Structure 1
Amino acid sequence: MAVTLGDVARHAGVSLATASRALNGSARSVTEGLSAKVRASAEALGYLPNAPAQALARSSGSTIGVLLHDVADPYFGGIARGVGDAAAREGLLSLVVSTDGDPRRELEAIRTLHAHRARAIVLAGSAYTDFAARRQLDEALAAYQDQGGRVVAITEHGVQYDTVDVRNEGGATSLTYALQQLGHRRFAVITGPERMQVAVDRLDGVLAGLRETGLELAEGMLQRSEFTREGGQAAMARILDVARESGTPLPTAVIALSDICAAGALAELRARGIAVPGDISVAGFDDIPLATDLAPALSTVRLPLIAMGESAVRLALREPGAQRDVNHAFAEVVLRDSTAAPRTD
């Protein structure tokens, strides 16, 4: 039977990834000592290198893959626009893949981009909180990197990736403070699904801002939904129903941790004849273009979405270094007509 790369790795006492880098000429370096050890094992076992694998490791394609949850979501649309513009300036093509927030689809996309020799992969969707899913994705990305591919994450996906760091938690805390400064003390929060790390980070930011001033959410005033308009509307309905059924006062401010969710919340309040901001103030997060077109215009946390995509491409095209590169995308609170001081009781 033919000797495999796995046989060489076991003989040399190294990982399969290290053996691949040593023999296939990957752009990621291996120390000379380990490289010599692997080459000696290959010679001793009579291993014949895989020429197509070597060609893959030494070449780079003209495509940058962008993995995101939903291209129809303006948040991801802005990032994809930034990636596409920056890639085009370098003579490269961006390929956008919507995964619907499903780690299995993301895993398939990574493997497909690897097989088609994409030069880089930009992880534009949120990281997953499920450990097993993250481990599978990390393993697939490690195999891709071992053959010369570059990976850049927008938001934190792990210390092994160059990253465009988005201040999700800090932005949510700043928004909470801003609403408190208007006089709000009764809050409700519409957050995203627990499987998405970005939802966890933003919610942590809001809760930290409340704790700092001795406030907490009343029972039923935290509702989870998908980051969609429909999800935001349904979550807003649950908040109103809980308040009515329990006889507790309505919140004076609702923080929806995505602008799309906030649009749904506004629709539900409008349908029930509840004035915004007269009865309840509403704020979102992201500052998508739609935010200024809503009625009333939406207060939110502004993220530089297009610039985030451009920054990811710049990181992807740099020479890899010994330490990961991190670019920061700062969040800015923008107060518009959907928020005001609460009415006095």
Structure 2
Amino acid sequence: MARGRTAPRLVDVAERAGVSLATASRALSGREGVSPAVAERVQAVAAELGYVVNAHARSLAGGSASIVGLIVHQIDDPYFSEIAAGVISVAYEHGITVQICHSARDPENELRQIRTLVANNVRAIIVAGSGYVGDEVETAAKRELAAFQDTGGRVAVIGRHALRADAVLPDNEDAGAALAEHLVGLGHRQIAIASGTVNLTTVVDRLAGIERALADHGIDIDDLPLVEAEFTRDGGAYAAERILAEHPGSTAIIALNDAMAIGALATLRAHGVAVPSQMSVVGFDDVTVAADLAPSLTTVRLPMAEMGADALMMALKDPSSRPRRRHTGHELMVRDSSGPVRA
């Protein structure tokens, strides 16, 4: 039965009939790929539960909707721009239009964007970017997206833990460990961290990887300076200013994304601090411009365009009984911004 809801859902029909969501959807919409016996059973269960096929759901399942919504934290952040490029490339191949929404890393604004996309009858919603620590923050978004899926909409997420949907999961923790190992291998022990807001799950995961690698070398992350700032170029510039003023003995900065690393490099240049001979700087993501900076940025590469493409491909597939998960790899890109600790 529908668990505490006023109307039964497609998932209730599927569970009672003992079939997958995809099979239940096909059976009720008269599509091919379901035996007559199974279709009859599913339809009987739907009648017993009082489930009514939503006309909007049929148009979504049949592929007539030609718009998908993409919600990103920061559209001018190259990380999200490259994800969007991957989504758009797949959408173009399927004749689909992408409506891009900007949440500014505000969970309340993200919720408003989700509701707007649902109201616009989009075919699918892709939510890209970190979740937020504390389930209560995402409860409303989870509820809205679940209701959207119950009526035939499709959802895929990138870098989210709590939302029940097909997900592309960046290799944040292991990539963070790779950066820390790289710096420790160069002799650095006085390492400062330029961090985004610590209630972002992406930040939590990246810090966990750094902490794990440092602990393997007897370094306690709690003994290192961590400056929390906006997850942007300006945030990185601010963090570097604080590090120079308050922790002048630092020999390296780990910025938790490339935008922050770029801001840190600008601040160090303005203060006449040579990189990497006086201060090493490493970033995270490997955005397109990272290799073209002066000095070029040491970072870890995540397959951002591929992540966007994979998320939309998931969203275009029939739903499965359990959310699909795809974990990305990572690659350490050693460039000119990191070097041996100064004597």
TM-score, normalization by structure 1: 0.85
Question: How many Å apart are 1:22 and its aligned residue?
Answer: 8.0
**Alignment-derived partner of residue 316 in structure 2:** 317
Paired residues for 1:216-235 under 5 Å: 216-217=220-221, 221-235=225-239
Q: Which amino acid in the other structure matches residue 38 of structure 1?
A: L
Among residues 235, 238, 241, which one is paired with 2:245 in the alignment? 241
CA shift in 2, pair 1:13/1:278, >3 Å: closer
CA shift in 2, pair 1:34/1:18, >3 Å: farther
Task: State whether structure 2 residue 210 is matched by structure 1 residue 199.
Answer: no
Distance in 2 (alpha carbons) for counterparts of 1:131 and 1:301: 29
Distance in 2 (alpha carbons) for counterparts of 1:13 and 1:253: 55
**Alignment-derived partner of residue 10 in structure 2:** 21
Task: State whether structure 2 residue 154 is matched by structure 1 residue 150.
Answer: yes
Whether the 8 Å CA contact 1:190–1:222 is kept in 2: the answer is yes
CA shift in 2, pair 1:215/1:324, >3 Å: same
Secondary structure of 2:83's partner? helix
Q: Which amino acid in the other structure matches residue 222 of structure 1?
A: L
Distance in 2 (alpha carbons) for counterparts of 1:125 and 1:72: 13
Question: How many Å apart are 1:272 and its aligned residue?
Answer: 1.3
Task: State whether structure 2 residue 39 is matched by structure 1 residue 35.
Answer: no
The aligned length equals 317
Distance in 1 (alpha carbons) for counterparts of 2:324 and 2:83: 19
Where in structure 1 are there 5+ consecutive unaligned residues? 1-11, 43-48, 245-249
Distance in 1 (alpha carbons) for counterparts of 2:273 and 2:67: 49
Deviations 1:284-309 (A, max 9, x none): 00101121222111000101111111
Whether the 8 Å CA contact 2:10–2:150 is kept in 1: the answer is yes
* Aligned-residue RMSD, C-alpha: 2.4
Distance in 2 (alpha carbons) for counterparts of 1:158 and 1:191: 22
Deviations 1:153-183 (A, max 9, x none): 1113336211111100110001111111122
CA shift in 2, pair 1:14/1:210, >3 Å: closer
Distance in 1 (alpha carbons) for counterparts of 2:205 and 2:69: 25
Structure 1 stretches of 4+ moved >3 Å: 12-15, 20-37, 217-220
TM-score, normalization by structure 2: 0.86
- What percentage of residue pairs aligned between the two structures are identical? 39
CA shift in 2, pair 1:23/1:284, >3 Å: closer
Distance in 2 (alpha carbons) for counterparts of 1:104 and 1:28: 35
CA shift in 2, pair 1:295/1:75, >3 Å: same
Q: Which amino acid in the other structure matches residue 263 of structure 2?
A: G
Question: How many Å apart are 1:54 and its aligned residue?
Answer: 2.0
Question: How many Å apart are 1:213 and its aligned residue?
Answer: 0.8
Q: Which amino acid in the other structure matches residue 59 of structure 2?
A: S
